[in-house]
Structure 1
Amino acid sequence: MSTRADPPLPHAASFRLEQDRDRLVLRAEHLPNYAPIGVDWASDDIRRRIRGGKRQLLGRAVGLHKYPQTSIVDATAGLGRDAYVLASLGAELTLLERCEQTAALLADALQRVPDDPAISRMRLFATEAVVWLHAHPATADVVLIDPMYPHSGKQALAKKEMQVLRALSGGDEDADALLPAALACATRRVVVKRPLKAPPLANATPNFRIMGSQARYDIYLPARGSTET
């Protein structure tokens, strides 16, 4: 396996939102050989995940196989792929995204297909997740957190899309603060996606885990008496 690090990004990183036919895209002007990034919820991979149903790994992690109409806050929405899959399976999704450009891509995607039933179950807030979560205590069944894992310089070369998003957002070095805020907001569980060998978020031991072949979901139960397992 390759252990090449991501190529160093220029200090003068420059990003531009532009219209590309029917959708908004983000172009990394300092990386002219990289394709622009846009939100695509009609991809084969997304459709495959939706066909996997509520008992797929993510669906089980958020408890969708038990509670089909679960309300979920995606605290690290990114390009909204997990949120769209969950909304397509019947959940109500609140998307939080603090990066202005990424939030603009999400807003564009939500406007492009207004008749999609999944879209009607999604709402977006361009905001700092920690602030929003603290301002909305005990208002969602589940809070989902999927932070960027800190880049060590020893990882295999990341996908170009991830390189651009990491450079755009600066990574999620403050992700540990999300866990207590999420526990204050969630009434049923907090779900944190982590690489298999990564330490738990904020070094907090989860109540239980759901393991996959490439990642795991750490499940935390709020202290207000939840007995879920």
Structure 2
Amino acid sequence: MSRSSSTKLSLAIWPRPGFENRAGLLSRELSLPLLPVASAQDVPDTEQEQLTLVVDDGGLSLQQLGPKAPGPVRCEFALGAARHRRLHGGGRGQDIAKATGLSRSGFRPQLLDLTAGLGRDGFILASLGAQVTMIERNPVIYALLADGLSRAADKAEEDPPLAEILRRINTVCQDSVDYLETLTDQQCPDVIYLDPMFPPREKSSKVKKEMQIFHQLVGPDDAGELLAVSLSKARYRVVVKRPAHAPVLEGREPGYSLKGKSTRFDIYPLQKLP
């Protein structure tokens, strides 16, 4: 995610008893003001286009205000689509497993997800057996990610497979290039995974709501620099996720690609998998 944003942010407290303390803590951690209103309808017209972090009984969410704003964006690992994909998503037969080498029996790599976002792909990779470190440099997106993992941990006592997956996940809030440059040869990961944001399409109604909000929040991506550094740090391969018909990143042709209906994985092999 990008280092900066021009979008104004406020931290909102919905009228739920008991959440004022947590909202205040987040306000201090993220250096964001509290929005002292009870609901979106109470926000002044001058504030209607801003993004707001909302703390309520469902956890933390990011929401754009205004009459035509998309719904809230929340990080979820234990329920809904994440749970369904974990249980019925195809396992090692998925393209993401083939691209990262996790389709190979016994290969359990140390894997860096350098563009973690809401952690969906990183969670899938951990569910397939990888030890995953998710790097997210935008502190607001990182707060959503940490909240989702925390809520998943609360449910893991009743779901041992979920608990095992969560034990394979580590998170870091840092610029990914800076993180890579601190690694020694002994600390380099087996596989590096990149899912850079693609520029917004002209038909914005077709863009997922979280992408609409993320483009406002984090601004343009700088994945070209990230790919170059990744290729110098990964042991076995770098994998870049792209829209199916998008150009290759920075014009650098991969060794090979796996192409689905809407998504393509470009694989940059560095040496043969063990």
Q: TM-score range by the shorter chain?
A: 0.7 to 0.9
Structure 1 counterpart of 2:74: 38
Alignment of 1:56-75 (within 5 A): 56-66=94-104, 67-75=106-114
Per-residue deviation, 1:215:
1.3
Q: Could you tell me the TM-score, scaled by structure 1's length? A: 0.85
State the alpha-carbon separation in 1 of the partners of residues 259 and 115 from structure 2: 20
1:15 has 2:51 as partner? yes
Pick the aligned partner of 1:54 from 68, 81, 92.
92
Gaps of 5+ in 2: 1-6, 9-45, 157-162
Larger mean Cα displacement after TM superposition, 13-22 or 115-124:
13-22
Structure 2 counterpart of 1:205: 253
- In our comparison, the structure showing a higher alpha carbon Rg is 2
1:191 has 2:239 as partner? yes
Retained in 2: the 8 A contact 1:137–1:184? no
Retained in 1: the 8 A contact 2:73–2:209? no
Gaps of 5+ in 1: 1-8
1:29/1:21 CA distance change after superposition, 3 Å: same
- CA shift digits 1:21-80 (9 cap, x unpaired): 041111223566432211011344323432311121111110001154111111110100
State the alpha-carbon separation in 2 of the partners of residues 24 and 209 from structure 1: 36
Q: Alignment RMSD, CA only?
A: 2.5
Structure 2 counterpart of 1:98: 137
Larger mean Cα displacement after TM superposition, 122-131 or 18-27:
18-27
Match of 1:144, SS state, is strand
State the alpha-carbon separation in 1 of the partners of residues 67 and 204 from structure 2: 21
Retained in 2: the 8 A contact 1:133–1:184? no
- CA shift digits 1:120-141 (9 cap, x unpaired): 1111111111111222255111
1:86 has 2:86 as partner? no
State the alpha-carbon separation in 2 of the partners of residues 123 and 55 from structure 1: 25
Per-residue deviation, 1:148:
0.9
Pick the aligned partner of 2:150 from 111, 120, 133.
111
Moved over 6 A (4+): 9-12
Retained in 2: the 8 A contact 1:141–1:188? yes
Pick the aligned partner of 1:122 from 169, 174, 179.
169
Pick the aligned partner of 1:142 from 184, 191, 212.
191
The letter of the residue matching 2:59 is R
Q: Could you tell me the TM-score, scaled by structure 2's length? A: 0.72
Match of 1:65, SS state, is coil
Retained in 2: the 8 A contact 1:183–1:221? no
Alignment of 1:149-160 (within 5 A): 149-153=198-202, 157-160=206-209
State the alpha-carbon separation in 2 of the partners of residues 84 and 149 from structure 1: 21
